[in-house]
Amino acid sequence: APKRSLAGRHALVTAGPTHEPIDPVRYIANRSSGRQGYAIAAALAARGARVTLVSGPTALTAPPGVDRIDVETAREMLAACEAALPADIAVLTAAVADWRAAHEAGRKLKKRPGETPEPLPLALNPDILAHLSAPGPNRPALVVGFAAETDDLLRNAAAKLDRKGCDWIVANDVADGNGIMGGDHNEVHLLTRDGTETWPRLPKNDVANCLADRIAARFAP
């Protein structure tokens, strides 16, 4: 078992997709399984951290000792994260839906056979990572974001580090057909203000343990 090097620290982790309702029976979602985030929550808890896992809808069970809060939408996820502060560490792995339906219909939308469907107006969701990274008394000492990209991975990830104001970015290539999104393995780069490390293709549990060890080192006395 790893040393309890994060004892006394509070870590906030987000995981999974969000579901953004269109009407009572339909929603916008994505292919995130939540596995990487759940593995990170487990790895931080194994190192002694108190872990709050704010999770979108997934098929996973909470790792032992982790306090899980279930949410559906991006706006609920942001509210749950803010309610969980203060935290020393925030690792935001959730694949938050960028957009939601601008108007949630109170009744099931009806199809009209033979008629062209109406366009679906979208609204931009809040960016939880940018919110938690913003300077303020409740800003966690270490905020880690993820960047899942299909193109220009490192350039986009570096731009994200600057734009969102987080401390580290874990960048992964989710190109179609590489099996990472929803799969068991991950191949990541860790971008910090000091540079970029490339890790080998590893099971998501091992990526989580490597990241948790890096986080523990960052908080070592």
**Enclosing H/E stretch for 13:** strand 10-15
Q: Are 29 and 18 in contact (CB under 8 A)?
A: yes
Count CB neighbours of 158 within 10 A.
17
Strands 188-192 and 195-198, how do they pair?
Answer: antiparallel
Q: Which of 33, 52, 125, 172 binds ligand C5P (CB under 6 A)?
A: 125
Q: Are 56 and 36 in contact (CB under 8 A)?
A: no
Q: Any contact of residue 87 with ligand C5P (CB under 6 A)?
A: no
User: Residue-wise over 87-126: b if at least 16 C-beta within 10 A, else e?
Assistant: bbbbbbbbbbbeebbeeeeeeeeeeeeeeeeeeeeeeebe
Name which of residues 179 to 198 contact ligand C5P (CB under 6 A).
Answer: none
> DSSP character for 116?
P
Q: Any contact of residue 94 with ligand C5P (CB under 6 A)?
A: yes
3/210 Cα distance (integer angstroms): 13
Tokens for 125, please give them: 């969701």
30: annotated active-site residue: yes
Q: Is 111 annotated as a binding residue?
A: no
- Rank residues 92 and 191 by Cβ distance to ligand C5P and give the closer one: 92
Q: Any contact of residue 127 with ligand C5P (CB under 6 A)?
A: yes
Residue number of the CB atom closest to ligand C5P: 128
Name which of residues 141 to 170 contact ligand C5P (CB under 6 A).
Answer: 145-147, 160
Q: How far is the CB of 63 from ligand C5P (least distance, A)?
A: 19
Q: How far is the CB of 166 from ligand C5P (least distance, A)?
A: 8
Q: Any contact of residue 92 with ligand C5P (CB under 6 A)?
A: yes
Q: Kindly list the residues in this chain that would bind ligand C5P in the complex (CB under 6 A).
A: 14, 74, 92-94, 96, 98, 125-129, 145-147, 160
Task: Please list the active-site residues.
Answer: 30
Residue list for the binding site for CTP:
98, 108, 126-129, 146, 160, 164
Binding-site residue numbers are 98, 108, 126-129, 146, 160, 164
